[in-house]
């Protein structure tokens, strides 16, 4: 995510995570009337249809504003730009309705050009979210090409001295900053390596994950948001936050990214070190979750604190 982002992930992320959670949870025939999963899917479908009408073709959902939840559009280069299309592809898979495939394809039009974007690690968020499921459902070679080109772009941000992909900034910057959110983008490298790309992409993802285990995760399983490295030596310079309450606090969305990211790495690699990381970060999360199951935006922020609903959705998806 861009360095200037402070607000919680808006409804687009919640929809994407909620539909993924529902997809993982459904294990039988269509849910009966009154089932909470069925109700959730109906709500997601209603909101996706409404949002499709709220934004013109070629516009992407950034965040909502005001009591009415009016969408503020963003560009294709924004880290949230692929979430609506990804949610629609999930709905297409869940419902079997071909109209959702058509809607999803329209929603992701304009994103393919981001495959050449080497200026951000968020190419993983932007492209993997919609295109990986789109390719799995349609087997269209064009979707595969977009993903492979995007993985190649993300790979240019990897530095072997640090052992990670750069989150913010460019080569030549005085510091090499890596945010815990970046764990989510590694899935694009893993996907690319499994679908014809070089094995080096998988090795980059694994090494980044191990670096995050070493430097982002504290002994108690909580996480730092930002780790800064010396780009010449790879040594840790500082550990900070940009979106949490304090450098030593636990920003709940960052903790959720870690749960989800390490779970994905374990699923892809079966490396027990990532399973341990997923368990440690999840155990810390569960130990601090308040009654009612809705996390605060930062577990160490003074109470009463705003809720971190997006963090809850991301963690639930990782735990599923």
Calculate the average pLDDT of the chain. Answer: 89
Q: Sheet holding 176-179: strands in order across?
A: 176-179, 226-229, 236-240
Catalytic residue, candidates 122, 159, 215, 298:
122
Mean pLDDT of 181-199: 98
Is residue 4 included in any domain, yes or no? Answer: no
Same domain, yes or no: 217 and 110 = no
**Tokens found for residue 186:** 């590694």
181 is catalytic: yes
122 is catalytic: yes
Is residue 270 included in any domain, yes or no? Answer: yes
**Residue 294, CB-side half-sphere exposure with 13 Å CA sphere:** 8
Give the domain range for residue 85: 9-63+72-155
Is a pLDDT exceeding 90 seen at residue 52? no
Same domain, yes or no: 204 and 161 = yes
For residue 32, the model assigns a pLDDT of 40
**Residue 239, CB-side half-sphere exposure with 13 Å CA sphere:** 16
For residue 78, the model assigns a pLDDT of 95
Mean pLDDT of 228-249: 97
d(CA 294, CA 269): 31
The pTM of the full predicted model, rounded to 2 decimals, is 0.88
Same domain, yes or no: 146 and 43 = yes
> What is the distance, to the nearest Å, from the Cα of residue 137 to the centroid of all Cα atoms in its chain?
20
The domain that holds 54 is classified in CATH as 1.50.10.10
Greater confidence (172 vs 258) lies with 258
Catalytic residue, candidates 51, 181, 215, 298:
181
């Amino acid at each position: 995510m861009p360095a200037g982002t402070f607000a919680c992930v808006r409804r687009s992320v919640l929809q994407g995570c909620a539909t993924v959670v529902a997809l993982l949870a459904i294990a039988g025939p269509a849910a009966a009337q009154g089932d909470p999963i069925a109700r959730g899917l109906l709500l997601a479908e209603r909101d996706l249809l409404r949002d499709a009408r709220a934004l013109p073709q070629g516009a992407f959902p950034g965040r909502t504003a005001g009591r009415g939840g009016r969408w503020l559009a963003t560009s294709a280069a924004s880290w949230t730009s692929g979430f609506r299309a990804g949610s629609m592809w999930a709905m297409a898979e869940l419902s079997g309705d071909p109209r959702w495939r058509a809607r999803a394809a329209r929603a992701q039009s304009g994103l393919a050009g981001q495959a050449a974007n080497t200026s951000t690690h968020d190419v993983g968020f932007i492209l993997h979210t919609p295109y990986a499921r789109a390719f799995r459902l349609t087997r269209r070679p064009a979707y595969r090409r977009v993903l492979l080109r995007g993985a190649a772009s993300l790979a240019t941000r990897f530095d072997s001295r640090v052992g990670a992909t750069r989150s913010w900034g460019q080569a030549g910057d005085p510091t090499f900053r890596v945010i815990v959110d970046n764990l989510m983008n590694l899935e694009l490298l893993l996907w690319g390596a499994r679908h014809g790309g070089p094995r080096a992409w998988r090795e980059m993802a694994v090494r980044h994950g191990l670096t995050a285990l070493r430097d982002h995760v504290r002994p108690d399983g909580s996480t730092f948001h930002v780790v800064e490295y010396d780009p010449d030596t790879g040594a840790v310079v500082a550990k900070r936050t940009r979106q949490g309450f304090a450098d030593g606090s636990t920003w709940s969305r960052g903790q959720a990214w870690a749960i989800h990211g390490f779970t994905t790495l374990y699923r892809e690699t079966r490396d027990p070190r990532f399973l341990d990381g997923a368990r440690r970060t999840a155990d810390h999360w569960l130990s601090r979750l308040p009654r009612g199951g809705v996390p605060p935006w930062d577990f160490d922020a003074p109470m009463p604190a705003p809720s971190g609903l997006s963090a809850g959705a991301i963690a639930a998806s990782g735990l599923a």
